[in-house]
Amino acid sequence: MIKSNYTGLRHGPINSFIRQDNLLQLNPFVMWDHFQLNSTQTEAGFDFHGHSGIAAVTYVIDADLTHEDSKGNVVKLPRGSVQLLVAGAGALHKETLTSEDGNFEAFQLWTALPKNIEMSEAYYQGVSVEDLPIIKQQNTSTKILVGEYAGIKSPIKHVIDMNYFHITMATTKAHWRYSASQDQNSRFIYVLQGNISISGEPLTTQQLVLIDNVSELEITAGSDDSQFLFISATSLAQAILPTGPSVHSSYENSKIGHQNIQQLFQKMMK
């Protein structure tokens, strides 16, 4: 059931899990970063920077989020919310987290984009926590960040076929069952807290666990209030060429994306 476990590479408050050595195995996912910070400051984040060729899903667990981008969007979202930025041919964005107690926690997931929309116009969507559906079943709750679960869809309109759920298991030995799409052949789990197992195989907190392409998943809680994230998507049948903050299917597109980002910076400074 478990194919591979990956530990993160920490740099400052960020733990990064997708690298050159596992990039192809996790296709179309090209970045999975866990941001955690306990600070005397009430604000943290990242100033304006650019991407192209990727879609970024940001999920903030502990802090409020203010998003700004080169399309003119300025959006404020409370903790527990999710946002999608499809960078396409190029976009700049700035993310500011605010927390009264100085505790910050968030996740950012990048996917590569299919070749036919890789150089499309940038697109942004933010959905507040109160608009995200939560399905409660037998001591479990499934928060649908992206995609569909039990016939219920997230308001987030991603451009690729994927699911992204936050599951909470209230009691020890609670079970979470999922009939997985065979098309979504790239799947991983990330344990937030507590203990869980798949077919008797225990999973460790703060590890990216790549799982097999099976039709039925059953996950069991080993402790009360265990929580994990489940992410799946359809792999892309194309080259994946990362170049720092961008990912493309060809070096030509990468060059164009870089030029577009530089032009956006020049426009911003005028």
Confidence category of residue 263, pLDDT binned at 50, 70, 90: very high
- Give residue-wise pLDDT tens across range 95-134: 999 999 999 999 999 999 999 999 999 999 999 999 999 9
Q: Kindly report the CA angle at 57 between 128 and 224, in degrees rounded to 5?
A: 70
In 60-183, which ranges are continuous DSSP H helix?
Answer: none
- Give residue-wise pLDDT tens across range 59-102: 999 999 999 999 999 999 999 999 999 999 999 999 999 999 99
The pLDDT assigned to 2 comes to 77
Nearest by Cα to 167 from 131, 128, 219: 219
The pLDDT assigned to 109 comes to 98
Confidence category of residue 215, pLDDT binned at 50, 70, 90: confident
Three-class SS state of 158: coil
Give the C-alpha separation, 109 to 137, whole Å: 27
The pLDDT assigned to 204 comes to 83
The pLDDT assigned to 197 comes to 93
**Res 3 pLDDT > 80:** no
The pLDDT assigned to 92 comes to 98
The pLDDT assigned to 251 comes to 96
